[in-house]
Amino acid sequence: MRLSRLIAVRTYNLFLRGQNPLLVGTASGWLRNLDNYVLNKQGIFAFMEKKKRKDYPVKPRTCSICDTVYTPPHHNRKIAPYCTRSCALEAIRSRRKRLFLPCVQCGQITECSGKVGLLRARMGRPYCSKECMDEFLRPTRSLGLVAFNRQYASARMKASNPMSNPEAKAKMVASMKGRTFLSRGGNGQPTKPQIMLAQALGWDMETVIETASVKGQFASLPHCYKVDVGHPGLKLAVEVDGQTHKLKKWKFLDRRKTEVLNSLGWRVIRFWNEEVLSDVDKCAQLVLSAAAIIERGGHL
């Protein structure tokens, strides 16, 4: 393609100078020059092809890291003289900037290199291990979390809080008005020990006892009390308490509930969940014995 283009350009130039390319002699004309050009191009191509075939032997070289004599894979002398990839990585590591500083937590001399290590060195906080870093940052992490929550989470929580709505707040205040913590408390689902004891006795669960008749004797009374298991005819109540009733607050509330029920003429027997689960028949027998005493007109 290049040869045909060269002939076309040469012929056009001869026409421009008023010469006939067919009358130009080969001895002094452009055809002889064209032959020489073709021969020269062929020689260059042959030399390049010979070099591409790697006919010349590759000279051995010495690794600059481990001093091992090796044969390079090609003639490129600009490539770094390393025999293996590990030697090349070792050379890269040797050229890195390294600082030796004491750890801010334990004081041990540690090497700071690489992007992260040098950044910590500039900040004045080099660490010898991840444990030292966690120990050093533990006091400040909580402060950063508090600042983050104060800036972002606080507004989100306030917006999601129903008490920020004036209507919801007014409704809540109206429902809790005049009630103290003495009269508050939810009615949870019946527990397994409660169900077992009620089935063993054959009594009802969640017996409702109204407190209207003694409201003047106690402050902040609820409208009614519920007992776990009760017999309204005998006025005998059975309470099955869990671990939360060992807390100081619930001890006070349970004692107050017992006093209110006693003033209403009820007698209260209390069991722990563990007692009912371990021997429900024994607990039921104690309750039935107390019921028999009440039926005979005795006192517990």
The average confidence (pLDDT) of the chain is 78
- pLDDT (tens digit, 9 = 90+) per residue, 236-294? 999 999 888 888 888 898 999 999 999 999 999 999 999 999 999 999 999 999 999 98
Rounded to the nearest 5 percent, the helix, strand and coil shares of the chain are 55, 15, 35
Domain spanning 192-295: CATH 3.40.960.10: yes
- pLDDT (tens digit, 9 = 90+) per residue, 20-76? 544 444 444 544 444 444 444 455 445 455 555 545 677 788 888 888 888 887 666
Distance from the Cα of residue 15 to its chain's centroid: 83
Q: Where do we find the tokens 């004797």?
A: 217
Dihedral sign (CA 160, 166, 168, 169): positive
266 within 8 A of 211, measured Cβ to Cβ: no
70 within 8 A of 56, measured Cβ to Cβ: no
What is the value of pTM for the model shown? Answer: 0.42
Give dist(CA 25, CA 33) in Å, integer: 11
The predicted structure's pLDDT at residue 285: 93
